[in-house]
Amino acid sequence: MVEMTTEVELVDHVVAERQALIEQWAERHGVDAARRLAEAQDLADAVAAEITPDNTLDTYNKSWRVRSRFCTATDLPELEGNRGSLVAFVTWMLREGQHNGRGYAPVLPVPTWRPRSSVCASAGSTSAVTSRARPARRSRA
């Protein structure tokens, strides 16, 4: 079972990431420029905090709790992501993301991923692309 990341660990991670970025700026542009860039980042953070409604922060917190449940259920790390983990997260949310085990969009069928070769073999075709028949147009009378 994967341990959930605590808020303190997230803050420590952000602080370490910020420090590494400042050091990188200092190497590239000098200490004074790195200080000014850090101050500009602080200003951006302060502006964002001032204009972000409280319910947005509440929604972010709720969304993070859902992501944490997903990571626990799938043994994926919370602070890593790629295309595959994003698609897996969205699929999980649609199928079973709510606390009661139901998906957030249970009325919509979510396709099951299959390797392209199995799609071709099951369709009896060498092409993974299939065409859909268009419905016949009704004539206006």
Does residue 136 fall inside a structural domain?
Answer: no
Site of tokens 């626990």: 72
| 63/100 same-domain check | yes
- 108 & 121 share domain: yes
What average pLDDT does the segment 19-30 reach?
A: 95
Instruction: Report the number of secondary-structure helices (H) and strands (E) in the chain.
Output: 5, 0
Shared domain for 122 and 57, answered yes or no, is: yes
DSSP string, 44-98: HHHHHHHHS-HHHHHHHHHHHHHHHHHHHHHT--TT---HHHHHHHHHHHHHH-S
Asked if residue 128 has pLDDT above 50, the reply is no
Do 44 and 75 fall within a single domain? no
Domains identified in the chain, total number: 2
Which residues constitute the domain of residue 116? 53-126
In a domain, 59, yes or no: yes
pLDDT in tens, 31-64: 999 999 999 999 999 998 899 888 888 898 898 9
Residue 133 counted as domain residue: no
Q: Are both 2 and 60 inside the same structural domain? A: no
Tens of pLDDT, residues 64-102: 999 999 999 999 999 888 999 999 999 888 888 787 877
Q: Are residues 57 and 46 in the same domain?
A: no
72 and 4 Cβ atoms separated by less than 8 Å:
yes
